[in-house]
Amino acid sequence: MNRLKLLSAAALSALLLSACNMDKNQAAKDPVTAAKDLSVALHDNDIGRFSHIMVPPDDYAKLEARFKDKQSKEPAPTADASKQFADQLAKFTEKGAEDKLFAEIQPKLAQMGPQIPMGVAMMSGMLGQGIEQNPKYSPAEKEQAKAVLTAVTKWATTAPLADEAKAKQAIGIVVATVRDLNLTTLDAANKMSFAEVMGKAGTGFGGLKKALAVYGFDIDQSLSSVKVDKKSEDGDNAVVTISYTILGAPVTADVKMVRRDGRWYSADLVKSVEDSLSGKADDAAPAAAPEAPVAPDAAAAPDASGAGDANGQAPAVGSLPEDQSPASDAGGNN
């Protein structure tokens, strides 16, 4: 009798856990929670969840199917490619990798120090011009993008990017992250499932955030600061106001949300993904810029294209660069 009770309890627990996981991977039924959940998923390095809640289930299924289709058409890696992959992987996984990598970049640190301010200024100028000239950006989006650019430029100009102690610390994080990916061979990497790629992307994103935090760029702090308020709602359309701080600078943006089958999604994300699925993104101009992001540093999410041609990286919370699948093609609660 006790054994039967234990089995029943175990079965019930399994069902509850399964239900919780299914609910976690569904977008919320109100626009505020749906928008907030995207930043929470990124904060938690849960790219798998992000990829689910950023688009309706039908679109997610199509993204996964496209991934599998491209994967099935990939030829087996050549011996040279496999060896190159193994050699590069060994640089991060072999014993003493941290010291060897530091010895490799140490001479470059002193050289790059004086060049950083000029390089940052040039890059900032180019990006600022691109923002100003982008016809897709509304005046409000341009102001938001420029506020983010100003904050990042200020950080990059003053951050100790050439500091040897911090470089050692960052290298240690990168090495640990690569080891945590548990990659083996190029062929095995190319055969990973869509869900596995999303998992690896989350691991990589977490490592990236830790490495940037060494230099004072705390992405998790920015993601934790995200606040969402409903501005308007009309039928299946709504607008939410998202506020956050990035490197101490306040940023605010209005984001359009759309309801599909009772659940809410970023209208820009859905449009970008559906355009990509329909082939419209392939017809866009190569230089077309992505929509303005609405959550801090979501665009820094890691590239998941290591498994076959996954074609992408994790998108920003409110937008997705054209023709990119979650963790390109690849975002709540009830």
Q: What is the pLDDT of residue 80?
A: 98
Q: Of 83-97, 132-146, 191-205, 223-237, which gets the smallest average pLDDT?
A: 132-146
Instruction: Give tens-digit pLDDT for 23-57.
Output: 789 999 999 999 999 999 999 999 999 999 999 99
Q: Of 176-180, 186-190, 223-227, 318-322, which gets the smallest average pLDDT?
A: 318-322
Q: How far apart are CA 213 and CA 202, in angstroms?
A: 17
Per domain, the residue ranges of the chain are 27-300
Strand order in the sheet with 237-246: 227-234, 237-246, 249-260, 263-266
If you search the block for the tokens 């607008």, which residue do you land on? 239
Q: How far apart are CA 218 and CA 214, in angstroms?
A: 8
| Axis crossing angle, helix 79-93 with helix 164-180, rounded to the nearest 10 | 130
Q: What is the pLDDT of residue 1?
A: 53
